[in-house]
Amino acid sequence: MNAKEKFVNGLTKFAAFMNDNKYFSVLRSAFARLLPMILIGSFGTLFSTLIANPVTGLAKWIPFLEKLAPAFIALSFATISFMTVPLVF
């Protein structure tokens, strides 16, 4: 058995342990249910950086795009920052 097979076998045992543990399975399912919220907040952060940022984003060349920054920041805040409330419940 080479090193790659040992690594895969060890990783498989660890994955089986994580899958059988009830606490980790509850966390996994909670984050799976919140995945749409995570994706929307991530896109808000991405657009805030790539489109509305006047230093590194597209707003460097098209200045009116900077006015969209508060909307993207609010979108990110409303999803990712608020995500802890439903995650706890």
∠ CA 43-89-70, nearest 5°, is: 30
Q: Which residue in 87, 86, 50, 52 sits closest to 67, CA to CA? A: 52
CB 72 within 8 A of CB 47: yes
What pLDDT score was predicted for residue 2?
87
pTM, to two decimals: 0.68
Residue 14 resides in a domain: no
* pLDDT mean by block of 10 residues, the chain; 89 residues: 88 91 87 89 91 88 90 90 77
Residue 4 resides in a domain: no
Residue 9 resides in a domain: no
What pLDDT score was predicted for residue 12?
94
Residue 32 resides in a domain: yes
Residue 13 resides in a domain: no
Domain carrying residue 70 = 22-88
Domain count, the chain: 1
